[in-house]
Amino acid sequence: MANTPSRVTTVTKVTCTPQLSLSALSTAATDKEIIGKQSRWVHPHLIESIDPIKGRQLRASQDIPAGTCILIDCPYAIIPVVDNPVTNEGLLCSNRACNRALRAPASRVVCSKSCLSDVAWCSTTCRDSNMAYHNFECNWLKRYAVPIRKKWGEYIFGMSWVIVRLLASQHVERITRLEDEEVRPMHEWKCDWRGVESLCGSVDSWSHEQVRSWTLLVKKYLQKSAVLPHDMTPDQVLHLICQEEANSFGLYPRETGIYPCPEPPIDRGEQYAAAVYPIAAMANHSCIPNMMHKPDESGRMIFTASQDILAGQECCISYFDLTEHINLTSRREHLRKSFRFTCQCHRCASEAPAQNSSDWSAMPLMEL
Ligand SMILES: [Zn+2]
Ligand SMILES: [Zn+2]
Ligand SMILES: [Zn+2]
């Protein structure tokens, strides 16, 4: 299918109209604004299907033209990724329904318990409507954020915080379930905790060393305790880490997955957040994706068709910046290391024979 760089200009015309959820209509004005930003939207021609090899996937039930917005998904858990939380402009409002970029530190609303400098809200409204959620994580952050950062590094701290925020969302969902159940607009898509439970991920895909390290992390910081009152066993938390690692998204300021790569190449920019999206996580990877993705200003992930997608075709994104990993070896290495699979997309399959034979001939054994 023709996919020229000029197509990139057409895809900026997003043709969808996000729908407000019914719950948004029944709340106060300020909350309405926040919750309205949280609404999901799924294109009516996008369906979930099961492939015998790949498992769950997204597919088009009817033709979808290039440039069409296919999915707007809200994060179930999201954390900011910043170099210096005190001064960094990229810090996000901690209200999980808001997530807007925060301005200068002076205008931020901070936690009265000073749990962590990465936690701040854009307004008192955002903070006050977020209390059930933040109270779940506050004591854990205050006690463990600094030690984990110091002993395990920034990446593991971020991963642990995403786990805690997944549990915080589950906690809030449980206490608000009754009202939620009545107004949930898209019952066919699992966008609550059930969506998190059905994410792919298993301890078997990771090395023993990796699993041992996460097991220790769970034991020390993520077990059920007074500061982290969930009801999962250590094995269940470990499983949740495997799911999170296989399914979380990095949030970048520009599109991921424009193909062919524009010339000169435009990368997607610096990562500013990490999040788990229950529906978006179903998209499989292709090195010639037919969708590109980019978060909006409230942390929602937007999928847009980057070429015409025909009825029955799988809808794929690229899990990495295509301008960063160009040749087959680099792409495969990255996917194996970070996502634990070997890509078999059309592009990889068509490049593989030539690559394999050159690798093969380079092996010492072949020279004998
Ligand atoms: Zn806010
Ligand atoms: Zn706090
Ligand atoms: Zn591939």
Alpha-carbon span 240 to 237, nearest angstrom? 5
Listed in sequence order, the residues at least 6 apart from 165 whose beta carbon sits closer than 8 Å to its beta carbon are 77, 78, 79, 96, 137
- Cβ atoms of 159 and 245 within 8 Å: the answer is yes
pLDDT beyond 70 at 366: no
Enter the tokens of residue 363.
């092996």
CA of 128 to the centre of ligand 2 (A): 12
User: What digits encode the pLDDT tens for the residues 154-178?
Assistant: 999 999 999 999 999 999 999 887 5
pTM equals 0.84
User: What digits encode the pLDDT tens for the residues 103-155?
Assistant: 877 889 999 999 998 999 999 999 999 999 999 999 999 999 999 999 999 99
Alpha-carbon span 69 to 291, nearest angstrom? 9
Alpha-carbon span 272 to 252, nearest angstrom? 6
Task: Look up tokens 């068509």; give the residue.
Answer: 350
Q: How many CB atoms lie within 10 A of CB 38?
A: 20
Alpha-carbon span 42 to 28, nearest angstrom? 26
Query: Which-ligand-closest: CA of 119?
Result: 2
CA of 58 to the centre of ligand 1 (A): 31
Enter the tokens of residue 349.
């399959």
Alpha-carbon span 98 to 117, nearest angstrom? 18
What are φ and ψ of residue 131, in 5° steps? -65, -40
Instruction: Give 21's pLDDT tier (boundaries 50, 70, 90).
Output: very low
Say whether 327 sits in a helix, a strand or coil.
coil
Domain boundaries of the chain, sorted by first residue: 7-324, 328-360
CA of 123 to the centre of ligand 3 (A): 44
CA of 181 to the centre of ligand 1 (A): 25
Neighbours of ion ligand 3 (CB under 5 A): 287, 343, 345, 348
Alpha-carbon span 8 to 97, nearest angstrom? 30
CA of 233 to the centre of ligand 2 (A): 25
User: What digits encode the pLDDT tens for the residues 188-240?
Assistant: 788 899 999 999 888 998 999 999 999 999 999 999 999 999 999 999 999 99
Instruction: Give 7's pLDDT tier (boundaries 50, 70, 90).
Output: very low
Alpha-carbon span 168 to 160, nearest angstrom? 12
Listed in sequence order, the residues at least 6 apart from 242 whose beta carbon sits closer than 8 Å to its beta carbon are 201, 202, 203, 205, 206, 214
> Angle at which helices 131-183 and 208-217 pack, to 10 degrees?
110
Is the pLDDT higher at 305 or at 181?
Answer: 305
Q: What is the mean pLDDT of residues 289-316?
A: 96
Say whether 112 sits in a helix, a strand or coil.
coil
CA of 41 to the centre of ligand 1 (A): 21
Alpha-carbon span 274 to 268, nearest angstrom? 14
CA of 113 to the centre of ligand 2 (A): 5
Q: Where are the alpha helices (DSSP H) in the chain?
A: 7-10, 22-25, 29-37, 124-128, 131-183, 193-197, 208-217, 234-247, 328-339, 346-361
Listed in sequence order, the residues at least 6 apart from 285 whose beta carbon sits closer than 8 Å to its beta carbon are 316, 317, 318, 319, 335, 339, 341, 343, 345
Listed in sequence order, the residues at least 6 apart from 122 whose beta carbon sits closer than 8 Å to its beta carbon are 93, 95, 98, 100, 102, 103, 108, 109
CATH no. of 7-324: 3.90.1410
pLDDT beyond 80 at 23: no
Query: Which-ligand-closest: CA of 168?
Result: 2
